[in-house]
Amino acid sequence: MAVEPLRWRGDRLELLDQRFLPDQTLYVTCRSAADVATAIRDMVVRGAPAIGCAAAFGVVLSNGSPESYDALAKSRPTAVNLFWALERMKRARNLETEAKAIFAQDLAANRAMGALGAELLPRGARVMTHCNTGALATAGHGTALGVIRSARSKNVSVIACETRPYLQGARLTAWECVQEGIPCTLITDSMAGHLMSRGEVDVVIVGADRIAANGDVANKIGTYSLAVLARRHAIPFYVAAPLSTFDRTIPDGSRIPIEERPADEVTGYRDLRWAPEGVKVRNPASTSLLPSSSRRSSARKACSTTPRAKASRLYSCSSSNRKRAATAVSAKSENTPSMPSR
């Protein structure tokens, strides 16, 4: 079954409502930029590349009005693909043509990343991933999960972290894998270290919400813990992201804005509440990873020097060692990643 997170109908955008997966397959119809902004904010559509694509079509629906750009820019602060897409739309001569190009280029980039990343996975690899980085998070195919899709001939399997609090791993990654027959084992986030300590994880691949100019990465909350655990157990840790996720205007991870989501995402799920009334809640949606200085120079090369697949450079030459070619943040770096001061 092909996963279609976005469907452009000429006068409307249909978005697969990911809040109801895996129980129901429902589409939300958007007829204006305001509708798309609400869908992004409420996580009908999520995943940095998919948000960028949706925003581009949102601009088309409102004929490029100043209000449309403003509404969409305020929908999610961390996913830089959103702002990248809006800037492209501002320069476009034909809005619909440009939005379709953004969509098509993201799909092509994901397939190129998948092919390049698949070379890094050993045959039979047990690949741990976090959040959802598949077709649901992009124009199609996926980033980190796209690598796994492209490596299916190697008999790889997925270990999906459930990804609290919104359960993107349990609801979305597991659903995509089941739909396509990719072997998948679901675990709670707190089980990751246990499996690593028992030698049951060969590789960790994650996506990214934003990558700073020096290679620092912001991704779904919980990614930092996986990076530290992977380093402790000497497990390769890769970040898969298109060039639209790089933000050269931000020098390092400490400047990446981290969205604070509503408290009710932590105190319960849908109509069920399990936390007591009155408890204080923190709900940062993302976390920043700071690679060591030796890895930062590699990340700079990865986003500026490679002639291959324009949006896939993260995979192509981040060091002279081919096995590290996809690494933006390596858990095997000399220094354990540390959280930025905020």
> Which residues carry out catalysis?
209
DSSP 8-class letter at 341: P
Tell me the C-alpha distance between 48 and 207, whole Å.
9
Torsion region of 199: left, alpha or beta (phi above 0 gives left; psi -120 to 50 gives alpha): left
- Sequence-ordered alpha helix ranges (H) in the chain: 33-41, 48-61, 66-73, 80-91, 95-118, 144-150, 168, 174-180, 192-197, 223-232, 264-267, 293-302
Q: Which of 16-22's residues contact partners 24+ apart within 8 Å by CB, and which partners?
A: 16/44, 16/45, 16/136, 17/44, 18/43, 18/44, 18/45, 18/46, 18/136, 18/171, 18/172, 19/43, 19/44, 21/136, 21/171, 21/172, 21/175, 22/171, 22/172, 22/174, 22/175, 22/178
